[in-house]
Amino acid sequence: MSGKDMSAYWKANVSLLIKLLIVWFIVSYGFGIILVEPLNAISLGGYPLGFWFAQQGSIYAFLILIFIYAKKMGELDREFDVHED
């Protein structure tokens, strides 16, 4: 892979990572701490939604983001021909 391709690959990699970390921050910090009071007006499974995001939602979101990252990185690796067989 040429230096130009490697630079584009890492730029795309870091861009994806930043986007996913922003989503995780919004879910865990935003929903679990900042917006907890308005979300507590909604109930999910008998628990206030704000409490649920603080205790479980951010973990589930993180797990989903891991799978999204793995899928997108597989696509990115194939696009730049650095995938493993």
Distance from C-alpha of 81 to C-alpha of 58, rounded to nearest angstrom:
33
Nearest to 38, CA basis, from 25, 48, 24, 23: 48
Token duo for residue 76: 């990115």
Asked if 50 and 40 count as a contact pair (C-beta separation under 8 A), the reply is: yes
- Tell me which residues of the chain have a pLDDT lower than 70: 1
Instruction: Say if residue 58 is exposed, middle or buried (CB neighbours under 10 Å; 0-12, 13-18, 19+).
Output: buried
What is the tens place of the pLDDT at every residue in 23-42? 999 988 888 888 889 989 99
**Is this structure's pTM higher than 0.85?**
no
Distances (CA, A) of 26 to 8, 18, 36, 37: 27, 12, 12, 15
